[in-house]
Amino acid sequence: MSGKRSTTYNVQPFRSNQEIDDFLFALRRNKHADRDVFLFLFAINTGLRMSDIVCLKKKDIVNSLNPKIIEKKTGKTRTLFLSGITDLIQRYTACLNDDDFLFPSNKGNSHLTVNGVYQCFQKAAELIDRNDIGTHSCRKTFGYHYYKRTNDIATLMMIFGHSSESITKRYIGITDDIISTSLIDFRLGF
């Protein structure tokens, strides 16, 4: 295969702690490792869309365990539940001012773009030989692990704003897992 990897639009979640650790290892090789690692951890622990994450400022998340944001895509108010990652947030934001972006751009006084995050993730994915990682991998990872832990698809549908169980299951990759598991020992004519 040539130096270019094939592009896939079948973006997958990180299904195991090992996959998450491998990606974190790759992100730590980036020039802005602290920012990129925090962004990834924040994303997989909140389930937010990347477009809602990149524009956050310190003041948006540090003054409450349950801050509210307005989702860009839907315009709906979403309550964040950050109690599980407060220590991570406090460490990362300790040197930031309230009006500082959590994820500053390398260029100018702005924040990372979703495309910038995508490019960062693509570099890290290449290091671990994955071609199925994108910005939605974080949201899917949150959903996948939430569902595996709770089996509560109804609440996950509400968190994601989906209209049906099948959409949510397909989005987080559970449908593929169920089909794969059901076919492991399936054989005919032997």
State both tokens at 32: 């802005």
Query: Which candidate in 58, 139, 140, 169 is catalytic?
Result: 139
Token pair of 107 as six digits: 């260029």
Assess whether 32 carries a catalytic annotation.
no
Q: Which are the contacts of 44, defined by CB distance < 8 A and separation ≥ 6?
A: 14, 20, 138, 141, 142, 145
3-state secondary structure of 113: coil
Spatial distance between the Cα atoms of 93 and 100, rounded to a whole number of angstroms:
9
Q: Is 49 a catalytic residue?
A: yes
Main-chain dihedrals φ then ψ at residue 23, nearest 5 degrees: -70, -40
3-state secondary structure of 78: strand
Catalytic residue check, 72: no
Out of 35, 49, 130, 145, which one is annotated catalytic? Answer: 49
Is there a catalytic annotation at residue 29? no
Which candidate in 58, 130, 162, 169 is catalytic? 162
Pick the catalytic residue from 4, 31, 73, 187: 73
Q: Which of 15, 59, 111, 136 is catalytic?
A: 136
CB burial readout 100-116, b (16+ within 10 A) else e = ebbbbeeeeeebbbbeb
Give the active site residues: 49, 73, 136, 139, 162, 171
